[in-house]
Structure 1
Amino acid sequence: MNSFGVQARLIEAASGRSWSGPGLEAYVHAMENELRTMPAGLLLLPAPWTIDTVCRYLAAFRQHRPLALLDPQIDLGTLEELIVRFEPAGLWQPGLEQLPPAGYRNTAHGWIRQTSAAAVSPDLALLLTTSGSTGAARMVRLSRQGVLANATAIVQALGITAQEIAPTSLPFHLGYGLSVLNSHLQAGATLVVTAHPVIGGDFWAIVDAYRATSFAAVSHTYELLARLRWTPSAHRSLRTLTQSGSRMRPDLIAQIAEDIGREGGRFHLMYGQTEATARMAVLPAHRIADKSTSVGLAVPGSRLSIRTELGEETCEPDLSGEVVFRGPSVMIGYADSAADLARGDDQGGVLHTGDIGHFDHEGYLHLEGRLKRMAKLFGMRINLDAVERLATEAGAEGPTVAVAPNDEVIVLWCESETEPGRLDTISRQVAERLRVNRHGVLARSIEKLPLLCNGKIDYRALTQAAAVSEAPR
C-alpha cells in the first residue's frame, strides 16, 4: 500500500474486529481485485460507514481510479440522473438487486457500462457533491494532490498522532466526514467504523468501549446533544472536539470548551468548504475564550485574504469582503456534466469562497455572511436554486423562492399558494429530498413576490420577512 493509510488501524465497532498492517493491506488488495473487474472511467460509490467501503476507497486511491462518493441512501431517480449526466464506468456496489439502467449490466460487483465511459483527467481523484444527495447539485472535482495536502494540513493543525482514536461521526460522502477519515489515515491513527447515529446511546457506548480520543460534529449536532444534557467530560477518554459548519451560539461554545478543558482536552472551531477539499481554517483551542466569534487561522500551507468591493485583496484588519483561500487543497473545478470530467485544473489553487468576512488585528478570520445563493442547513451546504426546483417537483404551481434566514430553516415563499395542506406537502417532500429534519423546510404563502426596480426578485426582503414570519408587503 502507498503511504496513505499504511500505518492506520480500522476497527469494526459492531464486531470488534480490527485491521492494520498486513491485514489491512490484504483487505485493500481484495478490493483492488474487485476494482480490476470494472472498466476505465469514473465509478460511483455509495458510501455507508463500513470496512468494505473504506477499503474500496483506499483501493481506488492507490490505483488512481476516480470515485464519486454518494449518499448511501440515494434514491434511484437521483442515481439515474447522475448516471445520465456523468456517464460513469459503473456503480461499485456488490449485491445490487435493482435492474441497471439502459446501457449498463449487472455484475457481482455492481453495474458496469457496456460502452466506453466518459473520459477523465488523470488528476481527478474524487467527485463530491456540494449539497448532500440533491441530484441537481454541482459536483466538486478534487485532485489526488489536494486530498493528500488537506489531510497533511489537518494533521498539523490539530496535532493528530498515531495514538488518536476517532469514531466515524459524520457522513463519509461529505467533505467534513471525509476529512476526518483522511487526516487520521495520514497520521496512522485508529478509526472506529460505525454507522450508529450520534444522537443515540449506541454511538456513545462505542466511544466509551473503544476509548475514543476525538469527536467531530457540526453545530446542529452539538445543539441537539446539549438539549439531551450531553457533556464531553462524561466520556473520559475524549480529549479533542472539533466543530465546523454553521455558527454556534457563544454560550454553547463556552460551555463545551469549559467542560472539555477541565479534563485537559481542547475544542477547535473550524471553517471549511468542499471546494477546498475540507477545512480551510482552524481556531487554536487556547484562543477559544477570547476568539469564539472567529474561525481561526488558515491551515498550514495555505493562506486567506479578503477581496474588497473595489476588487483589491488585503489582509488588513476590519475590512470586509469576500474571503479568498489559496492552497494546494483547492479543488480543480466543478463538474456539471460528463464533459467536465476530462478538464484539468481550472482554479490554480485559488478559491473565491462566496463568504463575506474580515480579519481582526491579530489576523484571525471572522465570517459575516454569504454572497451567493447558498445556505447551510444543519451543517450541510445547500443550493437554494436547487431547492426551488425541488419545490416545483413537489407540486408548487406558482413562482417559488427559497431563502435561509438562519442555519436551521429554509423558507419557501410560494406565490398564490394558499392551501395549508398543499404548503405542508411541499415542505415535507422538499425536506425528504434534502434528507433534513422535517422542520428544516417551511413553505409559506405570499400573494406576490417582491421585485427590485430592475425586475429581479428582492431576496433581501424575503429573507428579512422569513426571519419575522411575516410576508413582505
Structure 2
Amino acid sequence: MTSPRIAAHLNAFGDRSAVVGGADHEVSYAELAALVCEFANRLGAEQVSERPSGECLATEPAPVRRLVALAARNDIGSLVAYLGALEAGCAVLLTGSVTDEILRVYDPDIVIAAGAEPIPEPRWRRTGSAHELHPELALLLSTSGSTGSPKLVRLSYRNLLANAESIAEYLDIQDTDRAATTLPFFYCYGLSVVHSYLLRGASLLMTNRSVLEPEFWDDFRSRRATSFAAVPYTFDLLERVGFERMSLPHLRYVTQAGGKLAADRVRHHARAGERAGWRFYVMYGQTEATARMAYLPPRLAAEHPDCIGIPVPGGSFRLEPVEEGGDELVYHGPNVMMGYAQAPADLALGHQLTELRTGDLACRTEDGLYRVIGRRSRFAKIFGLRIDLQRIESGLAAAGYTVCCTDDAETLVVAVAGADSTASEDSTAAAQLAAQLSGLPVSAVRVCTVAEIPRLPSGKPDYPAIRHLPVAPTGPAADIRTLFAEALGLATAAITPERTFADLGGDSLTYVALSVKLDRALGQLPTNWQTMTVAELESLPRRKRRFGRSLDTTSLLRAIGMITVLGSHIGLFVLWGGAHVMLAVAGFNFARFGVTPAPAAQRLRKTLRTVALIAIPTALWVTLTLPFSNYYTWQNVLLLNKILGPQDSPTAGHLWFVEVAVYFMLAGALLLRLPLADALERRAPFWFAMAVLAGALILRYRSFDLYASHDIPFSPLAVWFFVLGWAAAKATAVRQRALLTAIALLTVPGYFGETNREQLVLAGLLLLIWVPSVRVPALIAGATALLADASLFAYLLHWQVYPLFGTHHLVALAASVAAGIAAARMLTLARGMVARGTRPSISLEADRFVGKDQCSTAQI
C-alpha cells in the first residue's frame, strides 16, 4: 500500500489556518494533523502509534485495511473522520447517508455517521475486515452523486493526488486562499475543493448553510473567503439573492461544473466577474476521472461560452469516431479511476482502465478548445446528479407504467402513456416513484400524460418532442399554477416549474392578491416567496394555520394608507399622512420588483410595464372625465400637472401622488440603465440606495424655489420618501435598518408642520423598515388584499364617486372602495382573456447553439 502520509503533509503547514467553521471556530494545520492522527489511531487500534511531531506511523504487524462507510456533512468532524480513515490505511466509502442498501451490498467493517459530536464516533461491525482491498484503493464514490444504484467508482491515492495537483495548478490556489464549501463533501466536485485546498496549505470555510441564507454571506465576508464552487442550479439561487450586487471584496474566483450551464449564462457570469474583479472558471469532469478533466480559461469564457475548454494539466483528450455518428471524447490522465465496483469482490481489483470513454460526443474548435455537442448513452445530469434514464424507465415499467424519460437540463421529464380518468393519481404516483428511483426531489420531476409516446418514423422515441411536452399539473401543483395564472393574467401552460413570480412579470400590482391566495393554499407563506420557483412553492408542506394568514406589510400599509386618504378627502375623519407612507411603499416595491439581478435592459422593461399599468388607466379615466367636468386639464392626461401646472386650480393636486410615483419609478429605472450606476448598485445594493437617498435629502431642506412652501410635500421634491422605501427594501442587516430608522426620526419631524401627520408617517416608515409581514385574521387578510389590489382605482375614482353621496360619508367611502375593486377586477379579467388568446412561446435550448460558432464539418 502506498501510504497517504496525510498527517505529515498537514503538520508541515504548522500554525497556518486550515479550517474555519462559524464565527469563532478555527483549526490550524497542526491541530488538524493531531486530530487526524488521533482518529487514525482509534481506527487502527494498537497497530497505529503517534509520533511526537503529530505524524502517524504504521507499526508491525501491518495494519488491517478496513472498509469504512462514512456519512459526511460539511463540518470539521466529517473532515477529520475522512482524513483519519485514509491515514489509517482504510478504504473510504464516502456518502451522504449510510443506507440499508450500502450495508447489504458492501457490508462495511466500520460505519461513521456525522452527528452532534464534534468528532463522530466510529461504529465497529467487526474487529477485522470482511474484505480483500486492493493496496491502492483509497476511495469509493457514487457516480456524480446518486442514481440509487450500488455501482461505485474506485479511486486510488494516486488518482486523488494527481487531480488535486492539476486543479490547484490551473486555479493558481495560494496559501492565502479560502474556499467556502457550497457543495456536499461527499460529492466529487465538493470533495475536489477540499483536496486541492489542503494540498496547497490554503484554508476551508466549512459550512452547511445554503447560498440562499444571509448568514452564509455574512460568514463569507467576515471569514474573508476567496472562492466558492457552483453547479448550474446554484446560479439560479444566486440570482434570487442578488449575488452580483453583493460586496465581496475578497472573492478571487467562482468555479462551475456539475452539468452544462447555458452559453448565455456563462457569458453573463464571465462578464459579471470581469466587472467585479473575480474570475469565472467553467469546468468539465466526471467522478470517473476523480473530479476534473477540462477547464475553460476565464479570459475565453465570454468569447467561447459553449466550450469545456482544454484538458487539465497532466491530462489529454482524443476524439474517436463512434457508430452512432460523431466523435466520442476520450480522456487520458493519472486521475482516471481504477474501475467500477458493483459488489465487494470488485474491491480487490486493480487498475482496469488506461483511458476514460466519457460518453460525450465532442469536437475541437480551430482555437484548440473542446466542445461537447451530445451524449452517446442515456444519462442526464440534473442538480449535479448523474441520472440513469434507462434505469428509471425500467423501474417505472416494473410498476406498470408505459413511460419514456428524458431531461430538459433542469428537470427529469417523464412521459406517461395511456392517460385515462385516473391520470391525476397516476401522474402524482409516477412523479413520486421517479423521484425515488433518481434521487431527485419530486419538484425536479415533470410528468406529462399523453395518449401515446411521441415517436420518430423509425419507431424510436422522439426525445426532443418529449422534452417539450406541456405539463399537466395535478393536485397541489395545479392549484399553485392556477393561482399564478389567474393573478398574473397568464395561460396556465406558461407557469413552468423553474419560473419565479418576478420571472413571470409579477409586480407590486399583482403581488398582494397572489400572496394572500398562496397563503390560503399553503397554510403559511414564506416571506421571500416571490423569489422562490413555482416548483419550490409546490414542494412546500401544506400546514394547518394556527391563526389567520400571513400578510405582507407593504400590502397592509397600502390598504391602510388608501383608507386614510379616501376617508380624509371625503370628510369621514382626518388622518393625513397615508399618501407619503404609500410613496415609501412604492419605493420599497420598486426596489423589490424592479431592482432585481436581471440584466439592466430587462429591469427597465419591467419598470416600464409597471408604469404603464399605472399611467394608462389614469390617463384613460382622466380623458373620460374631461367632457363632463372641470376637474382636470390636458396636463393631467399626460400626468404632467406637477411640472407644467396649473398650480392654482382647486383640483390641480388631485392626482399628485400618481404623478410623482410615476416620475420616481421612471427616474430610478433610467438611473440604473447607466452602466456605472448599474455596476455600483449590483455590487452594494443598500449603500447605493443610501447614496441616492443622500442626494434626495437635499430636497428635504432646499426647495430651490421650485414650489411654494405649502406645496413642497406634494411635489416631486418629496422623492426622498420614495428613496427611503427603496433603501428599506435593500436593508438586510439590523445595523442598516437602525441607520434608516435614525434617518426617518431626524428628517420626518418638522417636514409637514403637523405633528399628527408626521407621527402617522413615522409609524408607517418604521413598520416598513422593521416588520416584513404580520399575521391577521383570515377575513381581514382577504379584505386587505382586495383593497390593496384596488388601491389605484379606488384613488382615481373616488374624486368622482363620493360627491354623489353628499353628507353620507361612510356610504361614500364604501362606494368609492367598491368602485375601485370593480375596476381592478375588470382589468384582471381583461388581461386574463388576452393571455388565454396568446400562445406561450417555448424556448428550445438546443436551438441556441445551432449555426453559432460550430465546429467545422470535418471535425464532426
Partner of 1:300: 313
Q: Is the 8 A contact 1:167 1:214 kept in 2?
A: yes
- More off after superposition, 258-267 vs 193-202: 258-267
Equivalent position SS for 1:376:
strand
Partner of 2:404: 401
Partner of 1:445: 449
Q: Is the 8 A contact 1:330 1:347 kept in 2?
A: yes
Runs (5+) with no aligned partner, structure 1: 97-106, 312-318
Q: Which amino acid aligns with 2:231?
A: V
Equivalent position SS for 2:101:
helix
One of 356, 371, 375 as aligned partner of 2:380 = 375
Shift of 1:389: 5.0
Q: Which has the higher contact order (CA 8 A, sep 6+)?
A: 1
* Separation (CA, whole Å) in 2 of partners of 1:21 and 1:280: 29
One of 160, 164, 169 as aligned partner of 1:147 = 160
Q: Is the 8 A contact 2:179 2:225 kept in 1?
A: yes
One of 80, 88, 93 as aligned partner of 2:108 = 88
Q: Which amino acid aligns with 1:401?
A: C
Q: Which amino acid aligns with 2:203?
A: T
Partner of 2:22: 14
Q: Is the 8 A contact 1:82 1:135 kept in 2?
A: no
Residues 451 and 265 from structure 1, CA distance in 2 versus in 1: closer, same or farther, beyond 3 angstroms?
closer
| Percent sequence identity over aligned pairs | 32
Is 1:178 aligned to residue 186 of structure 2? no
For residues 236-282 of structure 1, give each alpha carbon's deviation from its aligned partner in whole angstroms, at most 9, with x where no partner exists: 21111111122223332233222222233211111010000001101
Shift of 1:149: 0.1
* Separation (CA, whole Å) in 2 of partners of 1:141 and 1:184: 22
For residues 304-324 of structure 1, give each alpha carbon's deviation from its aligned partner in whole angstroms, at most 9, with x where no partner exists: 11111379xxxxxxx941100
Partner of 1:423: 427
Higher helix share: 2
Partner of 1:104: none
Equivalent position SS for 1:375:
strand
Q: Which amino acid aligns with 1:356?
A: L
Q: Is the 8 A contact 2:360 2:373 kept in 1?
A: yes
One of 30, 37, 43 as aligned partner of 1:35 = 43
One of 130, 137, 144 as aligned partner of 2:143 = 130
Is 1:201 aligned to residue 214 of structure 2? yes
Q: Residues 430-469 of structure 1 correspond to what in structure 2 (within 5 A)? A: 430-431=434-435, 434-449=438-453, 458-459=460-461, 461-469=462-470
TM-score (norm 2): 0.48
- Please say which structure displays the higher CA radius of gyration: 2
- Count of matched residue pairs: 442
Q: Which amino acid aligns with 1:174?
A: Y
Shift of 1:345: 0.5
One of 353, 363, 369 as aligned partner of 1:364 = 369
Shift of 1:60: 2.0
Q: Which amino acid aligns with 1:458?
A: K
Higher strand share: 1
Q: Which amino acid aligns with 1:422?
A: D
* Separation (CA, whole Å) in 2 of partners of 1:143 and 1:262: 41
Q: Residues 42-441 of structure 1 correspond to what in structure 2 (within 5 A)? A: 42-72=67-97, 79-93=99-113, 109-113=122-126, 116-231=129-244, 234-309=247-322, 320-348=326-354, 350-388=355-393, 391=396, 396-404=399-407, 406-416=408-418, 418=420, 419-431=423-435, 434-441=438-445
* Separation (CA, whole Å) in 2 of partners of 1:271 and 1:423: 35
Shift of 1:4: 6.1
Equivalent position SS for 2:410:
coil
Residues 152 and 448 from structure 1, CA distance in 2 versus in 1: closer, same or farther, beyond 3 angstroms?
same
Equivalent position SS for 2:165:
helix
Shift of 1:153: 0.3
Partner of 2:660: none
* Separation (CA, whole Å) in 2 of partners of 1:95 and 1:169: 20
Residues 301 and 169 from structure 1, CA distance in 2 versus in 1: closer, same or farther, beyond 3 angstroms?
same
Q: Which amino acid aligns with 1:41?
A: R
Shift of 1:453: 9.2
For residues 144-184 of structure 1, give each alpha carbon's deviation from its aligned partner in whole angstroms, at most 9, with x where no partner exists: 10000000000111111111111111111111101111110
Residues 259 and 445 from structure 1, CA distance in 2 versus in 1: closer, same or farther, beyond 3 angstroms?
closer
Shift of 1:220: 1.5
* Separation (CA, whole Å) in 1 of partners of 2:207 and 2:256: 19
Shift of 1:121: 0.8
The 4+ residue runs of structure 1 with deviation greater than 6 A are: 450-454
Shift of 1:85: 1.4
* Separation (CA, whole Å) in 2 of partners of 1:224 and 1:297: 28
Q: Which amino acid aligns with 1:410?
A: L
Equivalent position SS for 2:125:
strand
Residues 44 and 392 from structure 1, CA distance in 2 versus in 1: closer, same or farther, beyond 3 angstroms?
farther
Q: Which amino acid aligns with 2:440?
A: V
Shift of 1:451: 7.2
